Structure 1
């Protein structure tokens, strides 16, 4: 594959066989490879390329004994090799697989597509546009219980929709919080399912610097 003249990167293009293997792996994981590739491309494109440290920064790190020259060289090599992009892709894909498609939500809710999209617009359902398609983090669904949705879901959406991205919101809901105590620390999702007050959740969201 030839490089385009306006491509600002300096790394060599991967071989055709590497690209073919990647596409094959994606096709093995999903029945909609076009969407998954679009979503992953969108995420990677949004990432900033790593910037090498300046000479002054290197001098400071070495003089402060934070790193040895060998350690610093190893870290710089890993970053240049794409370790940050790889870790970002892992986190993104892990969060992505804990989402449902619009069609899955329509089936679960027993509603029409228009009704589900209207609920998103009204702040009754939480969705993110990923790869030009709506995805719905599964934390909001009350699977196996009479009520299909998490208690206080609209209040949670209102509290975070202008402040956090969908990955942060989903991670928060599944992370045990020190101030949500029963027999042990509970996740915000478990707290609300057990009948806990949303005000306790709101206090945490207001004091937490997620993005």
Structure 2
């Protein structure tokens, strides 16, 4: 062999998957919870100030109209102004409610992130976490892939995931007790109740992670 032969190219190093420590996950969840509390407080403050301002405006205009003897005209003007302000306040409150619900869902998903081998795998359960307003408080429900409510308790939902034949395959060994607990691969018949799609998704995600 000639001494001038080119040396074989070095194989590129495979990128590592980003993992999070328990402290990092707790810090992330804590920050999201703080954001939710801030948004809830802002929503309540906006609603209270709007109510107080409306009451003060009505009282002042009623008094002025009575003194001027133009109550009918006042009532018509009042309705027009009230509907306009009501629409603006409703839009503001709806936007705040949407932000609160969104941040609440992010915080809840953050609690489960540390249970997965790859943190991005938590995206598979995003559709199973339902957050909405119940009065003035945010309510969270956890469902299966058919949309049936399983529980409202995060700990119970985590137990359900650990036993699910598709989701457990993505979870850390100390958490999973289903088909992924022993490292076994999912089969077409491993998922029940129409879970073939999610099983295929889980297998595909793991394959992509291994290629990175």
Instruction: State if a TM-score over 0.5 links the two structures.
Output: no
Q: TM-score range by the shorter chain?
A: under 0.3
Q: Which has the larger radius of gyration?
A: 2
Alignment TM-score, normalising by the size of structure 2 = 0.25
- The structure with the largest helix share of the pair is 2
Q: Kindly indicate whether structure 1 or structure 2 has the higher relative contact order, using CA contacts under 8 Å at least 6 residues apart.
A: 2
TM-score (norm 1): 0.26
